[in-house]
Amino acid sequence: MTDFITVDPAQPSAPGKGDVVLEVRDLSVDFGVDKKWVPAAIRLNYEVRAGEVLAIVGESGSGKSASSMALLGLLPSNSRVSGSVKLAGKELLGGSEANIRAVRGKDVAVIFQEPMTALNPVYTVGAQIVETIRLHNEVSPDQARERALRMLELVELPDPEKAFRSYPHQLSGGQRQRAMIAQSLSCDPKLLIADEPTTALDVTVQAEILDLMRNLRNKLDSAIVLITHDMGVVADLADRIAVMRRGVIVETGTAAEIFHNPKHEYTKALLDAVPHLGQGGEADGDVDVTAALAAATQADLEAIPHEELLRRERANAAALAAAAETAKPQGDPVLELTDVAIEYPKQGRVPAFRAVEGANLAIYPGQVVGLVGESGSGKTTIGRAAVGLLPVAAGTMKVVGQDISAAKRNGRQLHEMRRHVGMVFQDPSSSLNPRLPIGESIGEPMFLAGVAKGAELQTRIEALLDQVELPRNYRNRYPHELSGGQKQRVGIARALSLKPKLMVADEPTSALDVSVQAKVLELFQNLQKELGFACLFVTHDLAVVDVLADRICVMQRGRIVEQGSRDQILRNPQEPYTQRLLAAVPLPDPEKQRERRELRAQLLSGAS
Amino acid sequence: MATYILKRFLQLIPVFLGATLLVYFLVFSLPGDPIVALFGDKPVNEAVAAKLRAQYHLDQPFWIQYLLYLKSIFTFDLGQDFSGRPIAAVLGEVFPVTARLAIMALIFEAVFGIIFGLIAGLRKGKLFDATVLVASLIVIGIPIFVLGFLLQFTIGVQLGWAKPTVSSAATVQDLILPAIVLGLGSFAYVLRLTRTSVIENMNADYVRTATAKGLSRFRVVRVHILRNSLIPVITFLGADLGSLMGGAIVTEGIFNVPGVGNRLYRAVLSGEGPTVVSIVTVLVLIYCLSNLLVDLLYAWLDPRIRYDS
């Protein structure tokens, strides 16, 4: 191992100025499927220097993960890898198993996407980190333990001793990801591969982990390969970017080049598809959230000149005033919650759990209300209760004029009510019956409600397929023959089939790639305008409600902490939680993200 | 944890009462008169028959008989079987034999089932895997009495590798062949369960993490895959211990093992209510205790399971 170039920690490294740590030449990856080689990555070339973050960006199926796992030989056995991967000048591919094993975990460490499942559930966090340390270093158990504790401290876990003794399930998602990072850094790797490290996390937790990774990068001088689909994360962390599509790197460049002057069509399309929450662009209605937050908290930012900030704040206030003059809602509310509490009923010895408390909310005809919050905030619970899937424990809930708070489970009243309510679910793959052709899935609600039969039913199904812009001949296809976006279109068509007055959409686009998400959201928006249904749109993604919603409700720990029109919430957030949530959303623009980051730091220090 | 164990022990009380009542009722409802059967082909002497009936309380109604039986249990005097021997002594004689047999069978199926299952799972789709899968299907498909006679004849009689029958002492050596026969069916299940579980865990994210840490294949399998894969297998094995104890009737018959199954079979035939109920009750208790043991093992293997709320 002595022939490795050692990085001098005393030398401060400007990004891209360090030695080349990883050099990838003509790397190709193929997977054997049905006795044919299907390429996943084709002749990739890139290098990463010490202290530099290279982001590999792409949508699902672009080969970004497969090519990165190939660096360490972590692909399944039906794969074939060719080309050259040099780590500090030493070839990694084609060597013996023992060779690559000595590199894994020591010189190259990996952080995986799902902190939930990436740690072994039956061993303590400490034991797993100690295992790594002792594998690559000749140290006593006590020394390894000490080092593990230091690593846990380094990743800013509040109580390293306790984290050391904890099993993965006893930690929160963010803590688990910190433990994972501690483990991967425990042998001072030259190269860190982070495979979607924040994708599974809530946005505020994601911001914390990104902060941590930025700090560590400065401290440790490792090279980092960041694999992600999230342009906001890229803007926050990356020095250089490689954009991948269908196995090929279509464009590489510095972060500034890619974001401000994308050359390739695909890069442009990808950047356009990213819903940029309040980036403050020129387009009408774009919200400058940074200015809004700065105004609401009277913050002063180093990244923006004072005059400039004031100008942006004034523009923001003017836009808010203009928005206030838009039409007031008309008619009776389609969904009305008054002091509603919702409980998950007692199950055996597990006591009832109150997931929502004191919720007040009204949706008027034709209105889209975005219900935002992080995991466990109770947003999905409200959505489920609105279609009668969960009982109302207190307060009154009126759906399409009927009070369903006291309705019997599976009783006639709910049955009647559900004819006026459509629901779109999060995971399009599992919410369609795999054994029904999609035409039948779409037609089933109409058939069951007795609305249409025979030839008339077929006509209606075709009309619905037209509406969601799917070819009519798709009706006989099965769900597995469709892509994710197409499946979600089917889900929307099914929800529309009874011409609902209220639509409950539960994270309908969160499982989709950004470019697909953009198209599905556009379709949804057009359908909503055309058909005029009211909609409760449940999501964790503030950028999505920014696009869609007339009103926004922010939920935290089972309570609606703030609600108002889209412009009130985004341009003038009052509650500290709303402000924190807005500040945590990374912007797909490195400069704007720097402003946002500074603002977030001020918000957090002001709060503590 | 202590509260949990105590709770589980308290749960044994209704199980015990229910099991004894149910079994007692079933034996009571058996057709035929056991006392008449005792006389065999000889003419029935009414005076003797009446005396015997009184001695075994067979002239009393069902509830009285049951309560008398319960009383006998709590005074630790289980009474006598029809040949006049104390039932307690009979239990003390047959249970150690069957326990030995069952534990040997359990060790056999656990060790070989897990090893074969692990290898088959790791080499999914390869020749070894396919062979073992087909073989396990055959083992599951053939009735145990056919397998028993087959092995007894080939291995015991023709090849002479093991004793074809069991002596009255029923030593460990005597019991090797019967234990294999008894454990074969469950061996196939353990193998398949381990295989499925290993295949599932091999693709788990934490196994990829372990590999990415630089661990050797062997250590990944031993430390990270095996323990997680054993969780469902242990559940099966624990429940199986109870079945092996009570389900050895056929095997014990084939190899003439002087154990629980043999004695229970004879007692059922001759309608000896107290003997049947005593044996079955002990079996039920063993079943409950082995299940408790499994639950404790479960919590030890999988830290996510905690019984204290």
CA distance linking residue A72 with residue A182, whole number of Å:
19
A135/B213 touch (CB, cutoff 8 Å), yes or no? yes
Residues whose CB is less than 8 angstroms from the CB of residue B45 and which lie 6 or more positions away in sequence, other chains included: B39
The 10s digit of each residue's pLDDT in A322-344 is 776 665 677 888 999 999 999 88
**What interface predicted TM-score (ipTM) does this complex get?**
0.79
Nearest by Cα to A277 from A1, A591, A545: A545
Only one residue has tokens 């029109």, namely A565
- A336 near A364, Cβ under 8 Å? no
Residue B33 has pLDDT above 90, yes or no: no
Among A367-381, B7-21, B222-236, the range scoring the smallest mean pLDDT is B7-21
The pLDDT value recorded for residue A568 is: 85
Q: Could you tell me whether strands A108-111 and A191-195 are parallel, antiparallel, or unpaired per DSSP bridges?
A: parallel
The 10s digit of each residue's pLDDT in A448-473 is 888 888 899 999 999 999 999 999 99
- Laid out side by side, the sheet with A53-57 consists of A108-111, A191-195, A223-228, A53-57, A240-245, A248-254
Residue A261 has pLDDT above 80, yes or no: yes
Residue A13 has pLDDT above 50, yes or no: no
Among A246-255, A308-317, A440-449, the range scoring the smallest mean pLDDT is A308-317
Interface size, chain A vs chain B, as Cβ–Cβ contacts under 8 Å: 68
CA distance linking residue B181 with residue B175, whole number of Å:
10
Extended strands (E) in A70-177: 79-87, 90-91, 108-111
Which amino acid, one-letter code, is at A329?
P
Q: How far is residue B245 from each of residues A400, B140, B277, measured CA to CA in Å?
A: 62, 19, 15
Residue A281 has pLDDT above 50, yes or no: no
Q: What is the average per-residue pLDDT within A99-122?
A: 89
Q: What is the average per-residue pLDDT within B123-143?
A: 91
Among A285-299, A382-396, A547-561, the range scoring the smallest mean pLDDT is A285-299
The pLDDT value recorded for residue A566 is: 85
Kindly report the average pLDDT of chain B as a whole number: 85
- Laid out side by side, the sheet with A335-344 consists of A353-363, A335-344, A392-399, A402-403
- A191 near A48, Cβ under 8 Å? yes
The pLDDT value recorded for residue A5 is: 34
B208/A112 touch (CB, cutoff 8 Å), yes or no? yes
- A500 near A533, Cβ under 8 Å? yes
- A146 near A157, Cβ under 8 Å? no
The pLDDT value recorded for residue B307 is: 67
CA distance linking residue B198 with residue B215, whole number of Å:
18
Q: How confident is the model at residue B274 (pLDDT cuts 50, 70, 90)?
A: confident
> pLDDT higher for A147 or A587?
A147
Only one residue has tokens 């158990």, namely A141
The pLDDT value recorded for residue A505 is: 93
Nearest to B301 among A117, A122, A167 (CB): A122
Kindly report the average pLDDT of chain A as a whole number: 86
User: Which residues sit opposite A556 in a β-bridge?
Assistant: A559
Q: What is the average per-residue pLDDT within A33-51?
A: 90
CA distance linking residue B47 with residue B67, whole number of Å:
26
CA distance linking residue A143 with residue A130, whole number of Å:
9
CA-based torsion, A511, A513, A515, A516: positive or negative: negative
Among A436-445, A499-508, A566-575, B27-36, the range scoring the smallest mean pLDDT is B27-36
Three-class secondary structure of residue B205 per DSSP? helix
CA distance linking residue B241 with residue B239, whole number of Å:
6
Q: Helix %, strand %, coil % for chain A, to 5?
A: 40, 25, 35
Q: Any idea how long chain B is?
A: 309
- DSSP structure class, residue A512: S
Token pair listed for B293? 């043991």
Which amino acid, one-letter code, is at A584?
A
Compute CA A294 distance to the chain's CA centroid, rounded to the nearest angstrom.
25
CA-based torsion, A441, A442, A447, A452: positive or negative: negative
Query: Considering only alpha carbons, which residue of chain B is nearest residue A168?
Result: B304
- A318 near A325, Cβ under 8 Å? no
- A554 near A542, Cβ under 8 Å? no
> pLDDT higher for A316 or A474?
A474
- A186 near A133, Cβ under 8 Å? yes
Show the CA angle centred on residue A451, arms to residues A448 and A454, nearest 5°: 85
CA distance linking residue B226 with residue B230, whole number of Å:
6
Nearest by Cα to A43 from A91, A92, A85: A85
Compute CA B303 distance to the chain's CA centroid, rounded to the nearest angstrom.
28
Q: What is the average per-residue pLDDT within B221-234?
A: 91
Residue B114 has pLDDT above 90, yes or no: yes
Chain A touched by B226 (CB under 8 Å): no
Q: What is the average per-residue pLDDT within A256-280?
A: 82
Nearest to A122 among B214, B227, B309 (CB): B227
Q: What is the CA radius of gyration of chain A?
A: 26
B211/A104 touch (CB, cutoff 8 Å), yes or no? yes
The pLDDT value recorded for residue A201 is: 84
B213/A131 touch (CB, cutoff 8 Å), yes or no? yes
CA dihedral A240, A246, A248, A250 (to 10 degrees): -60
Q: How far is residue B12 from each of residues A582, B7, B15, B50, B299, measured CA to CA in Å?
A: 57, 9, 5, 37, 20
Chain B touched by A109 (CB under 8 Å): yes
Q: What is the CA radius of gyration of chain B?
A: 24
> pLDDT higher for B271 or A396?
A396
Residue B257 has pLDDT above 90, yes or no: no
Token pair listed for A347? 């199950």
Residue A9 has pLDDT above 70, yes or no: no
User: Which residues sit opposite A64 in a β-bridge?
Assistant: none
B208/A120 touch (CB, cutoff 8 Å), yes or no? no
- A54 near A45, Cβ under 8 Å? no
The pLDDT value recorded for residue A217 is: 84
CA distance linking residue B240 with residue B237, whole number of Å:
5
User: Which residues sit opposite A338 in a β-bridge?
Assistant: A396
Nearest by Cα to A544 from A572, A575, A514: A514
CA distance linking residue A20 with residue A25, whole number of Å:
13
Q: How far is residue B242 from each of residues A177, A485, B25, B105, B175, measured CA to CA in Å?
A: 43, 52, 22, 12, 18
Q: How far is residue A391 from each of residues A418, A505, A540, B97, B220, measured CA to CA in Å?
A: 14, 19, 23, 57, 46
Q: How confident is the model at residue A1 (pLDDT cuts 50, 70, 90)?
A: very low
Which amino acid, one-letter code, is at A427?
D
**Chain A residues touching B304 at Cβ < 8 A:** 121, 167, 169
Nearest to A119 among B206, B215, B223 (CB): B206
Residue A388 has pLDDT above 70, yes or no: yes
Nearest to A118 among B205, B217, B304 (CB): B205
Token pair listed for A180? 């994972």
Residue B39 has pLDDT above 80, yes or no: no
Instruction: Give the pTM.
Output: 0.81
Q: How far is residue B259 from each of residues B91, B99, B100, measured CA to CA in Å?
A: 9, 9, 10
A121/B215 touch (CB, cutoff 8 Å), yes or no? no
Residue A69 has pLDDT above 70, yes or no: yes
The 10s digit of each residue's pLDDT in A496-535 is 999 999 999 998 888 888 888 888 999 999 999 999 999 9
- A279 near A592, Cβ under 8 Å? yes
Only one residue has tokens 């500074």, namely A598
Task: Give the best-scoring range by mean pLDDT among A93-97, A394-398, B49-53.
Answer: A394-398
- A360 near A559, Cβ under 8 Å? no
The pLDDT value recorded for residue A10 is: 40
- DSSP structure class, residue A40: E
CA distance linking residue A287 with residue A285, whole number of Å:
6
Compute CA A547 distance to the chain's CA centroid, rounded to the nearest angstrom.
16
Q: What is the average per-residue pLDDT within B192-209?
A: 93
Distance linking the first and last C-alpha atoms of chain B: 10
Residue B104 has pLDDT above 90, yes or no: yes
B214/A105 touch (CB, cutoff 8 Å), yes or no? yes
Burial A483-505 (b: 16+ CB within 10 A, else e): ebbbbbbbbbbbbbbbebbbbbb
The pLDDT value recorded for residue A606 is: 73
Only one residue has tokens 């196939």, namely B188
- DSSP structure class, residue A168: G
**Chain B residues touching A97 at Cβ < 8 A:** 217
Burial A295-316 (b: 16+ CB within 10 A, else e): bbbebebebbeeeebeebbeeb
CA distance linking residue B220 with residue A147, whole number of Å:
22
- DSSP structure class, residue A484: H
A121/B309 touch (CB, cutoff 8 Å), yes or no? no
> What percent of chain B stands above pLDDT 90?
25
Chain B touched by A120 (CB under 8 Å): yes
